[in-house]
């Protein structure tokens, strides 16, 4: 049996067991959306961190663009980098 098939079967069994335990009340699912609360809460936290990080990255890109304009630096290109490397 291939490795992929084994992984798919194991994931299916784990999902089925999780679903049954949620229906029996052993695993909490407060909003009844079939996603365990133990998984849902960390994912929401990660989404917040990603959103904050994306905002910071956007600000950094804007500042870098402003600095590059003031200094009048041309963006690095692959061609320019290889020319410098070959001159050494």
Over the chain (88 residues), the average pLDDT of each successive run of 10 is 93 92 86 84 94 96 87 66 59
Say what the pTM is. 0.50
Inter-CA distances, 12 with 6, 8, 25, 69, Å: 10, 6, 20, 54
Total domains in the chain come to: 1
Helix (H, G, I), strand (E, B) or coil at 25: coil
Instruction: Please give the pLDDT value at position 88.
Output: 55
Residue with tokens 């001159």: 87
Distance CA 80, CA 73 (A): 13
Q: Where in the sequence is the domain holding 54, given as residue range(s)?
A: 3-87
């Amino acid at each position: 049996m291939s490795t992929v098939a084994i992984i798919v079967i194991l994931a299916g069994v784990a999902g089925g067991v999780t679903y049954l335990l949620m229906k029996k009340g052993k695993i909490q699912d407060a909003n009844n959306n079939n996603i365990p609360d133990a998984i849902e809460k960390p994912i929401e936290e990660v989404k917040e961190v990603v959103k904050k990080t994306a905002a910071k990255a956007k600000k950094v890109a804007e500042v870098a663009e402003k600095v590059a304009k003031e200094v009048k630096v041309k963006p690095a290109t692959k061609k320019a980098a290889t020319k410098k490397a070959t001159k050494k």
